[in-house]
Structure 1
Amino acid sequence: MNNLIDTHLHLDCYRNHSEIYEEINKLKQYTLCVTNLPEVFESCIEMYKETRYIKFAVGYNPQMIISDKFDKASFLRSVYKTKYIGEVGLDFSKQYEEYKSKQIVIFDFICKVAANENKILSIHSRKAEKEVLALLKKNKVKYAIIHWYTGNVALVKEFIKEGYYFSINPAMLRSLAGKKIINEIPMERVLVETDGPISKMNGKRMEPRNLIEIYKKINELYNIHNSNKIIYNNFKRLLNENLKI
């Protein structure tokens, strides 16, 4: 398989990140390296050169709300250095529930910027799928990838209607709930992510060389043989839509 794309990988979270960086380039896999803080994005682009295969996204993971204040200045400084914003979004699971209102203010601001600057977002939406969709619609965000969706199956159609894409990872492929969600996503809206090193496959952390295994499983699930070509064209279409503005 060629033209493989990983739309969500945390390069800085690998202890051996320099080896992972080299591996991605060697494998020639198009990889979007998301970050959890704007300051992390800044250090990543200082440390690593973007290549044909590696791009960086500026992010503020909602789970960081407990430990790190959102640095608006750093975010705005960084947003003009990339086409991508991620990982961003909302997380209303028990641990982060008390920070709901703060999260909404931050994500609303990020959506405004993304819409104004035509950026592509990679979005976290755990237990906050309705609120994420509402903020995307409110701010007229055009380009979004819903990362590791675990929400209501019925809402999938609403995200699709707005023109958004879903990135499928190993956790979704191995659970019954995940497979139900995948069944609702038309193939032309499917993208792929390892979510390495957070996500695991066969009990081991995801690495770039394992990306091909996700594509094989998607082939089985959709009963096709060319998911790599379809997903490559999906991502290309998303980029072209973005460039037209």
Structure 2
Amino acid sequence: MARGFIDCHCHISASEFTTDTDDVLLRAKKTGLKALVAVTEGASEFEKVIQLSKIYPGFVFPCFGIHPLQGSGQDLHSVKVQDLEPFLHLFQTYKDNIVAIGEIGLDFTPWYASTTQERDEQMKVFTKQLEISKELDLPVNVHSRSSAKVTIATMKELGIRQALLHNFAGKPSVAMEGVQAGFYFSFPPAVSKNEQRANLIRQIPLEHVCLETDSPALGLDKHVRNEPSNIAISSEYIAKVKGVSSDVVMEVTTQNALRLFSKLKV
């Protein structure tokens, strides 16, 4: 396999990339990116992410998932079952095209999910998509803000074996429960400004770490669009925290990604 990075979690179908996708992906390839795992947040992106995977075959690998928060800006709200149900057939239709179910998960941030009812609805949507992943034998690409413990516990209860917890910010003890279950953890460039996260990265074995950009979000500067080409920033930071070379991080995280996303061919 050629040397290079794999971006295990990015939003290449986001509107921020609509006008210059070609340039963005060219820059990414020049910095050594070999593949990117393209997650969705809502069903409106499903067709777009499939299209992108056809335009950039062997480089953009699509996922389908309904995120625990829907809408945008002022209208951001907790997901409801009806955000998922009308689109369930698409998971079946495109099961041969997608490499994972994601971005799915839980987000119990108080101002988005303040009621038990909202959290219950999120749990229903999450659980249903975990069941789909088992049915289709696909890994999951997971969001777990303010809900790390319950997210990992839910996946373990359902017997999920192949999972990536993206931009994980839970306690190291909770991360270790995920490590024991065989899960992987990925970190975007933004974590290089967070000392608390360094402590977490130090404790998670490199054999359970993947790289991500989460672009267009979570770059070094929150006012600047993040791109997949910034994947090296994540690699260099993890290398620094763990006291190993960037090359070692690139090699191990790429092998981890290929193990986790078994349909990736790079």
Q: Provide TM-score, normalisation by structure 1.
A: 0.89
Report the CA distance between 1:167 and its aligned residue: 0.6
Report the CA distance between 1:13 and its aligned residue: 2.1
Match of 1:208 in 2: 228
Report the CA distance between 1:27 and its aligned residue: 3.8
Report the CA distance between 1:200 and its aligned residue: 2.0
SS at match of 1:145: strand
Report the CA distance between 1:35 and its aligned residue: 0.5
Report the Cα distance in structure 1 between the residues aligned to 2:89 and 2:259, rounded to whole angstroms. 27
Tell which has more relative contact order, 1 or 2 (C-alpha 8 A, sep 6+).
Answer: 2
Report the Cα distance in structure 2 between the residues aligned to 1:214 and 1:157, rounded to whole angstroms. 21
Report the CA distance between 1:144 and its aligned residue: 0.4
2:39 counterpart of 1:34: yes
CA RMSD of aligned residues (A): 2.3
Report the CA distance between 1:72 and its aligned residue: 2.1
How many positions carry a matched residue from both structures? 242
Report the CA distance between 1:179 and its aligned residue: 0.9
1:67 to 1:120, Cα distance in 2 relative to 1, 3 A: closer
Q: Give the 4+ runs in structure 1 shifted more than 4 A.
A: none
Cα pair 2:189 2:231 within 8 Å, conserved: no
Match of 1:12 in 2: 13
Mean CA deviation greater in 179-188 or 26-35: 26-35
Report the CA distance between 1:11 and its aligned residue: 1.3
Match of 2:152 in 1: 133
Report the Cα distance in structure 1 between the residues aligned to 2:26 and 2:62, rounded to whole angstroms. 14
Unpaired segments ≥5 residues, structure 1? none
SS at match of 1:41: helix
2:115 counterpart of 1:93: no
**Aligned ranges for residues 144-155 of structure 1 at < 5 Å?**
144-155=163-174
**Aligned ranges for residues 1-245 of structure 1 at < 5 Å?**
2-17=3-18, 19-24=20-25, 27-28=28-29, 29=33, 30-46=35-51, 49=54, 50-64=56-70, 66=78, 69-79=82-92, 80=95, 81-94=97-110, 95-98=112-115, 99-203=118-222, 204-225=224-245, 226=247, 227-240=249-262
Cα pair 1:41 1:78 within 8 Å, conserved: no
Cα pair 1:61 1:87 within 8 Å, conserved: yes
SS at match of 2:48: helix
Mean CA deviation greater in 138-147 or 44-53: 44-53
1:213 to 1:47, Cα distance in 2 relative to 1, 3 A: closer
SS at match of 1:197: coil
Cα pair 1:111 1:135 within 8 Å, conserved: no
Q: Provide TM-score, normalisation by structure 2.
A: 0.83
Cα pair 1:37 1:60 within 8 Å, conserved: yes
Mean CA deviation greater in 188-197 or 35-44: 35-44
Cα pair 1:59 1:85 within 8 Å, conserved: yes
Name the % identity. 23
1:185 to 1:42, Cα distance in 2 relative to 1, 3 A: same
Report the CA distance between 1:111 and its aligned residue: 0.9
Unpaired segments ≥5 residues, structure 2? 71-76
Higher helix share: 1
Cα pair 2:40 2:66 within 8 Å, conserved: yes
Report the Cα distance in structure 2 between the residues aligned to 1:193 and 1:217, rounded to whole angstroms. 12
Mean CA deviation greater in 199-208 or 22-31: 22-31
**CA offsets, 1:195-215, max 9 Å, x none?**
111112145331122222221
